[in-house]
């Protein structure tokens, strides 16, 4: 299952993960606007929806990251007959021979950080529809078995019921190994069964999705202006 070039390109910096993840996401979710101009890529990296953490990268920073990804064979400029502006595309399929279900999950982990199976199924649905949690877990297992591994199953944090999964493109993170004293307890101050915090999280996700739809609608309108 290993792709020989994967050893060469890893590890990536957090900024490289963000730029590459944004390129992969936009190819799948807004193919009519892909490849991306530098300005569009900056906006994709800095958008407040579907991102954790939210970043504030300028064109110079993103251009520097693109140069680094180009040297690693993961992204770079591409020519299009329809545009005189330089556009950028990722080359992940040339390095990692993934199907859509693996690509969508890895992309979500790159853009939003560590998540549970349920969170991944919900968030990645805009890129690929999964039949059930078992199909999500099976796809993640392929990423875990990749050489070198691209995803890691994290131990459950104190006070939580489900383990999370995290991408390893940027290496291990210290916060993943938080001890019982370091890790905050699960939020349940408002409801013994945790339903209110869950509803609050779902409401935040709905707001993020509405903001993303509004952004895409605005971009669509601009092409007719």
CATH of the domain at 44: 1.10.10.10
pLDDT for the residue numbered 173: 86
pLDDT for the residue numbered 197: 54
Q: Answer yes or no: do 176 and 223 share one domain.
A: no
Residue 74 structural domain? 6-96
Q: Answer yes or no: do 167 and 204 share one domain.
A: no
pLDDT for the residue numbered 188: 42
Q: Is residue 155 part of a domain?
A: yes
pLDDT for the residue numbered 26: 98
Q: Answer yes or no: do 13 and 92 share one domain.
A: yes
Q: Answer yes or no: do 74 and 111 share one domain.
A: no
* Mean pLDDT per 10-residue interval, the chain, length 225 residues: 56 97 98 96 97 97 98 90 87 91 97 97 96 97 95 91 96 70 44 53 73 75 63
Q: Answer yes or no: do 91 and 23 share one domain.
A: yes
Q: Answer yes or no: do 115 and 176 share one domain.
A: yes
pLDDT for the residue numbered 198: 57
Q: Answer yes or no: do 170 and 193 share one domain.
A: no
Q: What is the pTM of this model?
A: 0.77
Q: Is residue 156 part of a domain?
A: yes
Q: Is residue 1 part of a domain?
A: no
Structure token pair of residue 40:
């569009």
Q: Answer yes or no: do 87 and 126 share one domain.
A: no
Q: How far, in Å, CA of 9 to CA of 74, rounded? A: 8
pLDDT for the residue numbered 177: 66
Q: Answer yes or no: do 195 and 165 share one domain.
A: no
Count how many domains the chain has: 3
Q: Is residue 161 part of a domain?
A: yes
Q: Is residue 111 part of a domain?
A: yes
Q: How far, in Å, CA of 117 to CA of 140, rounded? A: 9
Q: Is residue 91 part of a domain?
A: yes
Q: Model confidence over 66-78: pLDDT tens digits? A: 999 999 999 999 9
Q: Which of 96, 131, 149 is the last residue of a domain?
A: 96
Q: Answer yes or no: do 10 and 92 share one domain.
A: yes
Pinpoint the alpha helices (H) of the chain. Answer: 6-9, 14-29, 38-46, 59-71, 92-95, 100-112, 117-124, 133-145, 195-222
Query: Contact 159/174 with Cβ under 8 angstroms?
Result: no
CB burial readout 135-162, b (16+ within 10 A) else e: ebbebbebbeebeeebbbebeebeeeee
Q: Answer yes or no: do 31 and 54 share one domain.
A: yes
Q: Is residue 117 part of a domain?
A: yes
Q: Kindly calculate the radius of gyration of the chain based on its CA atoms and give it in whole angstroms.
A: 18
Q: Answer yes or no: do 110 and 76 share one domain.
A: no
């Amino acid at each position: 299952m290993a792709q020989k070039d994967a050893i060469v390109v890893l590890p990536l910096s957090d900024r490289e993960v963000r730029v590459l993840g944004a390129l992969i996401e936009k190819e799948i979710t807004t193919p009519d606007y892909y490849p991306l101009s530098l300005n569009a890529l900056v906006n994709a990296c800095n958008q407040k929806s579907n991102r954790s953490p939210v970043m504030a990268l300028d064109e110079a920073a993103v251009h520097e990251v693109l140069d680094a990804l180009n040297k690693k064979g993961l992204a770079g400029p591409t020519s299009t007959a329809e545009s005189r502006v330089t556009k950028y595309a990722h080359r992940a399929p040339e390095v990692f021979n993934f199907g859509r279900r693996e690509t969508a999950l890895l992309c979500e982990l790159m853009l939003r950080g560590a998540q549970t199976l349920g969170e991944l199924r919900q968030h990645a649905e805009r890129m690929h529809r999964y039949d059930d949690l078992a199909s999500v877990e099976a796809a993640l297992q392929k990423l875990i078995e990749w050489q070198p591994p691209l995803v890691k199953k994290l131990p459950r944090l104190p006070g939580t019921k489900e383990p999370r999964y995290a991408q390893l493109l940027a290496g291990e993170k210290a916060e993943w190994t938080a001890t019982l004293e370091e890790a905050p307890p699960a939020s349940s101050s408002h409801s013994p069964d945790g339903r209110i915090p869950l509803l609050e999280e779902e409401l935040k996700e709905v707001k993020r999705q509405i903001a993303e739809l509004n952004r895409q609608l605005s971009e669509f309108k601009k092409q007719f202006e």
